[in-house]
């Protein structure tokens, strides 16, 4: 049964459940409740349990109190009801790719609702809307849509990432400059709320909930299904790269200045790209929605500014290009999905960098980053600018915060990993220092951080601020309305007002 809520949520007995304080008693109670409700679960220490409790980031391992593996919305609803009755925090886990292991709760003792058994993708050719169950992974979604009418929507490149966490908190990829973020393609969502009701959300159904889900979805319920508007996948796209000889701070400053001037003025709408740097090389990498000949014409002004040449250009169909940027991973993947790494990561969103900041960043890159022998990289996504579909969306249209054409030009991922063993206890200062070289020269309202690259070292207060910025007060008010007891909680979750 779908109940519709448009103004407020009525709280009854569930909101005042007396939590069991003993962890063993809590586990027994939720196991009994789930069994009585016929909710499928993983047996503790079974192969399925070990697979579902194994985090992508091996640095952050947590032990759940229970893992439900539903296949229907009704089972998710029953699982949330059990969590509320027992008094245990509950977290949805779609692909399990959270950098902070928030799908496992971000700490021990949470109840995990593992969604990847719910992975169906359907397409309505009359409306051009795709309906995607919450546990589908991006590679499966891309494959299914392309095979069913040559359709697509904008999303990231890693095929094993779950569609829900990715799209509900942003979702940048090699179509975003052209078509917007994954969150911008969402036109509807089915969600189980903390009071255990199931509601439909859209611009016309429960629009306040729909607004909050699009940017901060993990805080307000468990989404079981999403509806995405799609576009026709281009018949030809072109993968390209440009080698950047950034071997000195002065070369970085000069090249970066040229790129940001070009991006601000209006990188062609069909162009999607990033700067990728590591210990070995720095490149512009990208995907042009068009042919090689069209790419060469469109990118020539940048090549002239950089005094550079295309180092690679290869034309593909849509799925060929998607496969290229998976770097050998299986594309249509569901489960098991066993990619794991041990790493620390941070993020930023910034405007064009003023000269003093750019000089500090370049100095850090050359002097500090190049001396780090771990397997690090930096990705600088070409995010904003005059032609970006992302910043053309009205700033208050969704809970996603970063839409300012003036202040949101670049999206960054900083990533430092070890190939074996534990991440060193003194390793965190490397990326912390690099981020500081940016933010020290910017005002607070000029930068933010991206929760899809969550940094668990941030305090809850800081995390909420940098992830949601001006939208935080409204989100906190909605958290008070929809989940005042914080049933859906992780260490950086939005606090009720």
How does pLDDT run across 298-351, given as a tens digit for each residue?
A: 999 999 999 999 999 999 999 999 999 999 889 998 887 889 999 999 999 999
pLDDT greater than 70 at residue 2 = no
pLDDT greater than 80 at residue 13 = no
What tokens were used for 281?
Answer: 């090389």
pLDDT greater than 70 at residue 70 = yes
pLDDT greater than 70 at residue 215 = yes
Give the rounded distance of the alpha carbon of 192 from its chain centre: 20
Q: How far apart are CA 472 and CA 466, in angstroms?
A: 9
Q: How far apart are CA 76 and CA 68, in angstroms?
A: 8
pLDDT the model gives residue 76:
98
pLDDT greater than 90 at residue 240 = yes
**188 closest CA partner among 165, 218, 172, 168:** 168
pLDDT greater than 80 at residue 7 = no
Of 16-25, 187-196, 241-250, the poorest mean pLDDT is in: 16-25
pLDDT the model gives residue 14:
44
Model confidence at 20, in pLDDT bands (50, 70, 90)?
low
**272 closest CA partner among 152, 357, 162:** 152
Q: What is the mean pLDDT of residues 87-99?
A: 96
Q: Please identify which residue in the block is written with the tokens 């586990």.
A: 27
DSSP class of residue 124? E
pLDDT the model gives residue 233:
98
Q: How many CA atoms lie within 13 A of 152 on its CB side?
A: 27
pTM recorded for the entire structure = 0.95
Q: Name beta bridge partners: 334.
A: none
pLDDT the model gives residue 338:
83
Q: How far apart are CA 103 and CA 433, in angstroms?
A: 28
Mean pLDDT (the chain) is: 95
* Residue 235 three-state SS: coil
Q: How far apart are CA 379 and CA 368, in angstroms?
A: 17
In the chain, pLDDT over 70 holds for what percent of residues? 96
Q: How far apart are CA 395 and CA 10, in angstroms?
A: 30
pLDDT the model gives residue 8:
34
DSSP class of residue 395? T
Q: What is the mean pLDDT of residues 444-451?
A: 97
More confident residue, 456 or 1: 456
What tokens were used for 260?
Answer: 């940001």
DSSP class of residue 341? B
Model confidence at 21, in pLDDT bands (50, 70, 90)?
low
Q: Is the separation of the CB atoms in 113 and 78 below 8 Å?
A: no
């Amino acid at each position: 049964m779908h109940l519709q809520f448009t103004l407020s949520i009525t709280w009854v007995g569930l909101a005042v459940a007396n939590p069991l304080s003993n962890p063993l008693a809590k586990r027994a109670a939720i196991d009994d409740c789930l069994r009585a409700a016929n909710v499928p679960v993983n047996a503790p220490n079974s192969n399925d349990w070990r697979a579902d409790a194994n985090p992508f980031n091996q640095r952050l391992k947590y032990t759940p109190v229970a893992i439900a593996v539903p296949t229907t919305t009704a089972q998710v609803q029953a699982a949330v009801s059990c969590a509320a009755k027992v008094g245990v925090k509950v977290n949805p886990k779609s692909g399990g790719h959270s950098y902070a292991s928030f799908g496992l709760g971000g700490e021990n003792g949470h109840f995990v609702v593992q969604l990847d058994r719910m992975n169906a993708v359907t397409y309505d050719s009359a409306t051009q809307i795709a309906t995607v169950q919450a546990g589908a992974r991006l590679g499966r979604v891309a494959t299914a849509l392309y095979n069913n009418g040559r359709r697509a929507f904008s999303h990231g490149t890693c095929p094993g990432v779950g569609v829900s966490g990715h799209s509900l908190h942003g979702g940048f990829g090699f179509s975003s400059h052209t078509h917007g973020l994954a969150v911008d393609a969402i036109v509807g969502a089915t969600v189980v709320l903390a009071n255990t009701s199931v509601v439909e959300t859209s611009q016309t159904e429960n629009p306040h909930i729909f607004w909050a889900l699009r940017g901060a979805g993990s805080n307000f319920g468990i989404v079981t299904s999403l509806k995405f508007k799609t576009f026709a996948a281009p018949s030809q796209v072109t993968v390209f790269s440009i080698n950047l000889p950034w071997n000195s701070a002065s070369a970085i400053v000069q090249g970066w200045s040229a790129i940001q001037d070009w991006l601000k003025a209006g990188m062609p709408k069909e162009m999607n790209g990033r700067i990728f740097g590591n210990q070995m090389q720095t490149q512009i990498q990208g995907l042009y929605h068009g042919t090689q000949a069209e790419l060469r014409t469109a990118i020539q002004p940048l090549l002239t500014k950089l005094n550079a040449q295309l180092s690679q250009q290869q034309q593909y169909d849509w799925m060929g290009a998607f496969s290229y940027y998976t770097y050998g991973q299986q594309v249509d993947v569901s489960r098991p999905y066993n990619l794991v790494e041990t790493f620390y990561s941070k993020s930023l969103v910034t405007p064009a960098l003023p000269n003093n900041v750019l000089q500090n960043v370049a100095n850090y890159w050359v002097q500090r980053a190049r001396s780090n022998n771990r397997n690090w990289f930096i990705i600088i996504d070409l995010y904003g600018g005059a032609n970006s579909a992302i910043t053309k969306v009205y700033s208050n249209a969704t809970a996603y915060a970063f839409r300012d054409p003036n202040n949101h030009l670049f999206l960054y991922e900083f990533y430092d990993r070890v190939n074996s063993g534990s991440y060193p206890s003194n390793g965190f200062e490397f990326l912390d220092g690099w981020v500081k070289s940016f933010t020290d020269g910017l005002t607070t309202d000029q930068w933010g951080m991206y929760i899809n690259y969550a940094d668990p070292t941030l305090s809850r207060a800081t995390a909420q601020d940098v992830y949601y910025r001006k939208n935080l007060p409204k989100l906190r008010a909605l958290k008070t309305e929809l989940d005042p007891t914080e049933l859906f909680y992780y260490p950086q979750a939005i606090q009720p007002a």
